[in-house]
Amino acid sequence: MFERCTFSSCRFNASEHESTAFVACEFRRTSFFTATLLGCKLSGSSFVECRLSPLTVRGGIWRGVALRGADLAKIDLTGVDLREADLTEADFSGATLRGCDLSYARLRNTILKDADLTGAQLDNVSLREALLLRTTLDVAGAIALAEAHGALLA
């Protein structure tokens, strides 16, 4: 358990973490190259100028995490709890976000090109602010997208 720690210019490269908690931590210019996070808790943590790819993630609670401008292209975040996350200007091109809870997440200028959001919870998420191109959505996601663009559903 790490709480309110600052990790600056650290290398978590090839490290493996299972059920590790990094709560309200700051990661600055830190590398996670080929690291593995299994069921980890990153709630309230922020990532600034970090290398997060390639990264293996299996579940976990990332509620309120700040990933502004992060490169998360092609990362599989299936089932991760990303409620209230700040994903502003992050790149999720080709990423898998299946079953993620993105409720109340900020997606301003977030790149979701070729991303898979099947089964994602999108309550109070403005998909209109995200950059979607060939993004996979299920029916609930398609409805949320239509409503974000002003559609009235009968």
Is 25 domain-assigned?
yes
Structurally, the chain folds into a number of domains equal to 1
Structural domain that includes position 54: 1-148
Q: Phi/psi class of residue 69: alpha, beta or left (left: φ > 0; alpha: ψ in -120 to 50)?
A: left
- DSSP secondary structure string for all residues of 70-106: -B-TT-B-TT-B-TT-B-TT-B-TT-B-TT-B-TT-B
pLDDT digits (tens, 9 = 90+) for 116-153: 999 999 999 999 999 999 999 999 999 988 888 888 87
Give the separation between CA 127 and CA 139, rounded to whole angstroms.
14
Is 140 domain-assigned?
yes
User: Can you give the CATH number for the domain in which 19 is found?
Assistant: 2.160.20.80
Is 132 domain-assigned?
yes
Is 154 domain-assigned?
no
Is 33 domain-assigned?
yes
Is 153 domain-assigned?
no
Residue 35 pLDDT: 97
Is the pLDDT assigned to residue 102 strictly greater than 80? yes
Give the separation between CA 89 and CA 69, rounded to whole angstroms.
5
Residue 34 pLDDT: 96
pTM, two decimals, is 0.93
Length of the chain: 154
**39 DSSP assignment:** S
Residue 150 pLDDT: 86
CA 55 to chain centre: 12
